[in-house]
């Protein structure tokens, strides 16, 4: 079973439906025991960084998210669920994040040529070979909605990059963890393929 972590913010049902369409089984939960016992975890997120951190603390989920993100089980972060993994964000901040990955979250620079938030379809360029990107073509298109982007300290954590005025990290990967700024549940065939890869990893772990 895949647990979609519920901390009161995020497109939870869309993510759950995406997993189900990919052939997996998912529950939406804020129960620590269910999160700990799940075979795979997804941390989605929509909204302000600081508010999301406050909700994680209020729901008593900070410690368990840190635990499950590093304990070897397949873990997928989506959109703000990527940003929260880092040490701090500039959004109304600095605001402290979960600190699972070194680096910070930055706002897109002001430019007359660019609209912020970055919203719509854009291409990703692959930097590594994480399992969740197997079968994804170089330059594949995914759907984005965000005003801030992550700046990892370690190059080896970068899985894909995307160009929007600046070249930014659009996904990261480390061991069991993969997290993306784009929304796989809204990214048509390519996004479904990532969710299928994630579901397959979860199934392989439970065999």
How do the pLDDT tens digits run along the chain, 207 residues long? Answer: 999 999 887 789 999 999 999 999 999 999 999 999 999 999 998 888 999 999 999 999 999 999 999 988 999 999 999 999 999 999 887 999 999 999 999 999 887 688 999 999 999 999 988 999 999 999 999 999 999 999 999 999 999 999 998 999 999 999 999 999 999 999 999 999 999 999 999 988 776
> What stretches of 109-147 adopt beta strand conformation (E)?
118-123, 125-126, 141-146
Query: CA torsion 193→135→151→175, rounded to 10°?
Result: 90
What is the set of domains in the chain, with CATH numbers?
2-206 (3.40.50.880)
H/E run at residue 162: strand 158-164
Q: Which helix (H) or strand (E) is 52 found in, with range?
A: helix 49-58
| pLDDT value, residue 171 | 98
Contact residues for 34 (Cβ-Cβ < 8 A; gap 6+): 3, 27
Q: What pLDDT, on the 0 to 100 scale, is given for residue 204?
A: 81
Residue 145: phi, psi to the nearest 5?
-150, 100
Residues assigned a catalytic role: 79, 183, 185
Check: pTM over 0.75? Answer yes or no.
yes
Per-residue CA distances from 9 to 49, 64, 126, 151 (Å): 11, 17, 29, 23
Instruction: Return the H-helix or E-strand segment holding 18.
Output: helix 12-21
Other beta carbons less than 10 A from residue 185's beta carbon: 24
Strand partners, 177: 75, 174
């Amino acid at each position: 079973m895949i647990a979609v972590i519920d901390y009161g913010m995020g497109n939870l049902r869309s993510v759950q439906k995406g997993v189900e369409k990919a052939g997996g089984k998912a529950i939406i939960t804020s129960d620590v025991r269910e999160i700990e016992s799940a075979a795979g975890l997804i941390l989605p997120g929509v909204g302000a960084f600081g508010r999301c951190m406050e909700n994680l603390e209020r729901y008593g989920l900070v410690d368990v998210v840190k635990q499950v993100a590093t304990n070897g089980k397949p873990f997928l972060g989506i959109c703000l669920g990527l940003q929260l993994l880092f040490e701090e964000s500039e959004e109304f901040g600095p605001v402290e994040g979960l600190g699972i990955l070194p680096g910070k979250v930055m706002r897109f620079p002001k430019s007359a040529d660019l609209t912020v938030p970055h919203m719509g379809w854009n291409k990703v360029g692959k930097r590594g070979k994480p399992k969740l990107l197997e079968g994804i073509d170089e330059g594949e298109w995914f759907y984005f909605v965000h005003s801030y982007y992550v700046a990892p300290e370690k190059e080896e954590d970068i899985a894909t990059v995307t160009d929007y005025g600046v070249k930014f990290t659009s996904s990261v990967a480390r061991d069991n963890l993969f997290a993306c700024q784009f929304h796989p549940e809204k990214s048509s065939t390519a996004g479904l393929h990532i969710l299928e890869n994630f579901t397959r990893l979860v199934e392989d772990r439970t065999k």
